[in-house]
Copies of this chain bind each other. A is one copy, B any other.
Amino acid sequence: MKPTLASQAATRTEEDTDHRTRVGRERRERTQARIIEAALRVFAEKGPDAPIIDDFIKAAGVARGTFYNYYQSTEELLEATAKWLQDDLIVSIEAEIGSLDDPVERLSSGIQLWLRKARTDAAWCAFSVRVRRHGGLVEQQLGAALKAGREAGVLTFTGADAARDLVVGALREAMFRMTEGRVSATYPRDITRLILIGLGLDARSADEVLGRPLPRLRRAARTIA
């Protein structure tokens, strides 16, 4: 049946609405991406605290008001950017350790790769340590790793919250130390060992797993620059 004028009109209107909605959403996504990309550059250049909103809008080439349509403050943007970066690192790490069977090796490797990133990318480290909240993937992968280790019987900690805080706290403090100057060659290994043992791994196993070779990140994690 040929559509009537009325039905055509209706159809066109619906199509129009859909189209507008889709176009609008795409534009939003593109703009948000521009802002985050620009923020990476700005934070890399000026550090996490110095930038002002003007820096971001100039770098992103958007209007002042546009910025406020997405973020209410530099702090909010800082957090969003940090989460984005951290999640990106997690993706890179997962690409390497995803195939490992041993949950402890997965955890150990993840921690060490995280610390290696921190040690070799000072800007990333200073940036990440500045923000309290993590990306969703960080919490998610860490939680899964701890659970797997405990279920496998190799980690014996009590209190999932406390275990998570031990890992995150020690790593954050380690990262903070790295922002203050170079650490000794054995420091990352020491930290990792303390954490693993704290989680209940026996010392012999800890040393064994730490002795295994650590993969390189083939997919280079995004950095702030």
Where the two chains meet, the residues of A that have a C-beta atom closer than 8 Å to any C-beta of B are 132, 156-159, 161-163, 165-166, 168-174, 176-177, 183-184, 186-187, 190-191, 193-195, 197-200, 203
Contact = CB atoms under 8 A, between A and B. Distances in A.
A165 B191 contact: yes
A199 B193 CA distance: 10
A142 to B, nearest CB: 12
Contacts of A197: 197-198, 200
Given A165-B173, A169-B169, A197-B198, A190 B156 contact: no
Contact of A195 (B186, B198, B203): B198
Contact of A166 (B132, B170, B200): B170
A162 to B, nearest CB: 4
B174 A195 contact: no
Nearest to A16: B5
